[in-house]
Structures are given as structure tokens and as C-alpha cells.
Amino acid sequence: MFDIIQLKRYPTETPGSLCTINDPYFKDIEYGIVKCNRHVTSKQKERVASYYKFPRWAWNTVEFDHLIPLGIGGSNNDDNLWPQPGPTGYGEAHEKDIIEMQAYNLLRYQNGTQAEAAQLICNWLNNQYNPIVYYNISSWGL
């Protein structure tokens, strides 16, 4: 059995990273935000799972999630991926999906900034994992 604490986001394993126009999966610039197409390979999942010492047989219990969502400018880089507890649409993954949509809507409909949208994600992470981790948007260059 695996230790669930290993699935907690740690800034050292998953610090988060933004898409750039030089990214191989660059999509476009929308609402002033550089965005990438979704592209996560099996090899990436293997590397990310190894950072967390998370066994392949348990992959169906997680969503390989983008820490900084693609919708607000996150990248597909390994340092923006982690095995989030709860498969897509359930539990914690579902909770974060709601926050991600709020962040995206802030950009799209409310003229929010990327920093404001990222702050919503940081607030959720910090509330979810405090005092284990602390994220700050300044570490993402915002």
C-alpha cells in the first residue's frame, strides 16, 4: 500500500510552470494569456509518478493534473503535473476543477489578470494542504 502523504503537492516536486510561446505545445494567446494544448504522455506520467513514489497499479485512483491549469496558462511540463487524489470528476479532483473554472471565468468574463486567476489556485492549494505546503504566485513569475 502507498502512503497518501506522498500524493500531497510539494513545491519541490510540482512547483508549477507557465506555457510560453516557445513551448512545443504552444496553442495561442487568449485574453492576453499564452496557452498550450493539452499533451501529457505516458512517459511523463511515469516520471511524475516516480517523483511521488506512486505505483502504476494505483494510477486509476488519481488524475494526472496540471497544477497551474492550462486554461489560465499552465504548461504540460513535468514540473506542472502531479498525481492528484481522486479520478477525474470525483473528490479532490472535482473540487479543484470547480476552482479552475472560476479562475478561467475570471479571465474570460471579468477581465481578471493571470495573477488574479493563479491566486485563486494558490488559495485553494494553501487551504487544502496547509501547513504541509505553501504556494505563492511569485514563484510562477506572476
What's the pLDDT at 73?
94
**Where do the structural domains in the chain lie, given as residue ranges?**
11-140
What's the pLDDT at 85?
79
What's the pLDDT at 2?
31
What's the pLDDT at 1?
31
Q: Which set of grid coordinates corresponds to residue 116?
A: 488574479
What's the pLDDT at 7?
47
3 state DSSP class of 83 = strand
What's the pLDDT at 40?
93
CA-wise closest residue to 63 among 96, 26, 32, 34: 96
Distances (CA, A) of 5 to 97, 102, 133: 21, 27, 12
State how far the Cα of 106 lies from the Cα of 83, in Å rounded to an integer: 26
- pTM, entire model: 0.82
Residue 4: other Cβ atoms inside 10 A = 10
Distances (CA, A) of 71 to 18, 37, 58, 81, 88: 11, 9, 27, 14, 16
What is the chain's pLDDT, residue by residue, as a tens digit (142 residues)? 333 333 455 567 788 889 999 999 999 999 889 999 999 999 999 999 998 888 888 888 888 999 899 999 999 999 899 888 776 656 777 888 899 999 999 999 999 998 899 889 888 887 776 544 555 556 666 6
Contact in structure between 88 and 95 (CB atoms under 8 Å): no
What's the pLDDT at 57?
86
Task: Please confirm whether the linkage preceding 15 is cis (ω < 30° from 0).
Answer: no
CA-wise closest residue to 59 among 87, 81, 32: 87
